[in-house]
Chains A and B, each alone.
Chain A
């Protein structure tokens, strides 16, 4: 093994090519492992005969568009108010992410740049809050929102959009990501603007924001994914289809008898495909966002 072979010898080249082939084989096998449930879901969603969907499972036909194909499953899912659920999910996600970007970056900017009493304590509190998982406060939060007033005389936040949005706008980890980014921006630009008489908010909007696009994209993607996938909280705080997101909607449909697998796969596909498309378009940003969660500590 340790004998060095000439890179020009046929045996060496053969072994090297063999290794490349093996590598591709391994990677292909892994690709099959990661793709097969998604392909299976998409293919099954177009099979309109419920019996065929199930019987195809015992063979490779599960992955092939054969038999009775059509859009019937998709039509039935739209009859389940899919449009409404989709709107709810998108609406809650957009508001949570946009408001979150705004207020989390503002506090992070104050912590990274401005001088004020109590700054160190505030920073320590934010870092400590990262440790408290939402899961640990979910039940008391349920007690709390059950009794909070809202405009128009409502005495509870249950079954509303705001109960799904407001508790998730401020996020200690997002603040921390912004804070780290702002610390690394050179101060000179801001100082120049200060001399020119710009207000702090103007500096934040006109100088800091434009050069901080990467961190805004990162936080936006992380928050959007978390929001889109959120399940436990909306399960507890929404009852009807009116304000419920897709995740709870599909779970409710899944819990009904008899289980219509064709319809379920169409439903699942319609939740997954839009996100997959956005992911393919902004892949670099997604990967960068996830990578940035690892830098903490």
Chain B
């Protein structure tokens, strides 16, 4: 997209995520041609939508669309790995696949990735054949469900889970996390300018200013890594960006919650929605903690730094 088209697209997407969530947002995205944009220009489609979705605390089935697109799979939804993990959510048990994963408001036919004899494969199954239980947890507004069961392994097709589906999903989630982080920062910034103590806005106190500056650095660090991840398109850079975005969102939550203090601890103020969302998103497709340790362990083994984006 050129700059003008991108700006226009961003504005339309923003209106949609501000106004709608869930099924209504899915319908709005279809009307806006978001799926066509995903096919023709995945970077703009993914970065714009997920950043806005994160900022508005909205939900949609876009993560399924992104990961299914990366797998060239035809299904209505995808089963995500268990919390904190990124590896395929199913394993072979005799001639069946045993599934234990998560999904976001799944429907219809779901794609299930599995590791079978060291190979990544996928099958599709009817959601009705699986045990689906809502997960309320720390973020009740996120339509997360736990998916368990066993499905027929015949007809499993080879896929690229770790090299295609996971990195695509990680980049999308990283954008959603930076969007949520920016929303928290803006709430804290507004509060700092309005709230007065000792006869002046608390934004004048350096301790407050530096917390917010630190938050912006954390967000833009993750965004820089995302820029690199889109340019080089590698699995390792997508995982790095996801880890930085997850850790950055936790930094944002910590500082912004502190600046918002009492009001930010109530449900009368919207901060808690973003804090909750960030904590769960950090755990999807690899938590920041796990991705970071895994990266280090792999480097110790290979003794070779991941390639950097050339100038």
A binds B: no
Chain A residues with a Cβ under 8 A of chain B: none
Chain B residues with a Cβ under 8 A of chain A: none
